[in-house]
Chain A
Amino acid sequence: QANALEDISAAGKIRVAVPQDFPPFGSVGADMAPQGYDIDMAALIADKLGVDLELVPVTSANRIPYLQTKKVDLVISSMGKNAERDAVIDFSEPYAPFYNGVFAPADVEITEASDLSGKIIGVTRGSIEDLELTEVAPQDATLKRYEDNNGTISAFLSGQVEAIATGNVVAAALIERNPPKLPEMKFLIKNSPCYIGFNENQPELMAKLNSIIETAKADGDLDAISQKWLGMPLPADL
């Protein structure tokens, strides 16, 4: 098994899968360049490794295949951790908070999972929300799984679904842009912080990433990123 960390150093370049459909973690500006929490995080890692950064936009559905097929070295795309995923890839320490929940306009009455009965909920295929909601949603709730967050959000905005499951900060970013439909948090599905994903059996890489994250937490770098994109300090329990 090759040493991924050495390969990265040798290449002088790290390829990182980031979202571009998932504000505030990753989205595009007027110039279509990616920006957001995950992008800053990727830049931080590259900086600490002393290599160049190559951003590869991915979707929730295809980011793991990207990693498995070695199209990228790391996935920094607000990815949550679960057992299934842990079986095929490895995770670092968490680098960002993420609370996902069900969101809907004010006039839709939902307070807990059982209220989803008979409703149509949009979710991004392959995301943690998808996996979790599939577990907790009642039998007669309809989950519409979209290819990427663009699809999920567009479906919500165009009224094709009544509610969506996504992260609280994602919803917040959405509200900030003053959309035609205002999502409000109905209930929390899971507290599922974001982890960096990478291929298995790379102890050197894992150690290096974890130490970078530790340092960044300690010296306030991560807090700055959090302030910048989430508008709040990094939670202490992360």
Chain B
Amino acid sequence: MSQIGFADILWNLIMAAGWTVVLSLISFVGGGLLGIVLLFARIGKVSWLRVVVKIYTEVFQGTPLLMQLFLAFFGLGLLGIDVPPSLAAGTALILWTAAFLVEIWRGCVSAIAKGQWEASASLGMTYVEQMRHVILPQAFKISIPPTVGFSVQVVKGTALTSIIGFVEVTKAGTVLANATFQPFTVYGLVALIYFILCYPLSLSAKALERKMNVTHRH
């Protein structure tokens, strides 16, 4: 255990932050894709599917992400799947992210005025055509600011994967804090890295929201 200097700390944290970014991207993209599928079930016409997705979102929003990580980690293993921390982390984060995105997006769909449904219906469009051409394009637009805003939660959520042993920036931080006896510096740097990752997302979410309130144009 040789001397670990400030530069080493910083370098190791930045390398680990790469995993944080990768994990965030996986969660967000995967959660987004799953979220779209679930969204169609959530607002679709099959009532039992609607209920199932509703329960899904309630459960995943009503339990700690940490517990979901533990369960993915140890539960998937029980199914005979070999689960490295990265797979468990990805799975839990995707399921968790999807649960929130479904609800955010459902809110956007229901924010579309009833008149849009009626006008498109009276033009003879089917449910799918209404969705495809009238409702979703509008919902998509208003969903951008809250979706970007939620991405901050995803980035921060990845910190919990440290607890199941995935070596991203938080885990690297705990290891380094212990190895260097400089918790103040190390956790300060870790916080700074997260801030640098998240703050631009927060800012752009706010800016998008403001822009949308000023002009709600195409």
Let me know if chains A and B touch directly in the complex, using CB atoms closer than 8 Å.
yes
A71 and B77 form a contact (CB under 8 A): yes
A29 and B177 form a contact (CB under 8 A): no
Q: Quick one: given A70-B77, A71-B77, are A150 and B178 in contact (CB under 8 Å)?
A: yes
A154 and B178 form a contact (CB under 8 A): yes
Residues of B near A32 (CB, < 8 A) are 12, 15-16, 167, 172, 175
The interface residues of chain B, by DSSP majority, are classed as: helix
Name the residue in B1, B2, B83 with the highest tally of chain A Cβ atoms < 10 Å from its Cβ.
Answer: B1
B107 at interface by CB-CB < 8 Å? no
A57 and B1 form a contact (CB under 8 A): no
B2 and A158 form a contact (CB under 8 A): no
B178 and A69 form a contact (CB under 8 A): no
Q: Which residues of A10-60 have CB atoms within 8 Å of chain B's CB atoms?
A: 20-21, 23, 27-32, 35, 56-59
Residues of B near A150 (CB, < 8 A) are 174-175, 177-178
B181 and A179 form a contact (CB under 8 A): yes
In whole Å, how far is A60's beta carbon from the nearest beta carbon of chain B? 12
Q: Quick one: given A69-B74, A71-B77, A177-B181, are A29 and B1 in contact (CB under 8 Å)?
A: yes
A146-172 vs B, Cβ < 8 Å mask (1 yes, 0 no): 011111011001100000000000000
Bound complex: CA of A21 vs CA of B173, how far in Å?
12
Q: How many residues of A contact B (CB 8 A)?
A: 34
B78 and A69 form a contact (CB under 8 A): yes
> What is the chain B residue whose CB lies nearest that of A158?
B183
Residues of B near A153 (CB, < 8 A) are 178
A181-224 vs B, Cβ < 8 Å mask (1 yes, 0 no): 00000000000000000000000000000000000000000000
B8 at interface by CB-CB < 8 Å? yes
A28 and B179 form a contact (CB under 8 A): yes
A65 at interface by CB-CB < 8 Å? yes
Residues of A near B3 (CB, < 8 A) are 30
Q: Which 10 A-B pairs have the closest CB atoms?
A: A69-B77, A150-B178, A150-B174, A30-B8, A179-B181, A30-B4, A32-B12, A153-B178, A65-B74, A154-B178
What 7 additional pairs, Cβ within 8 angstroms, besides A65-B74, A150-B174?
A: A21-B174, A30-B4, A31-B12, A32-B167, A70-B82, A147-B163, A154-B178
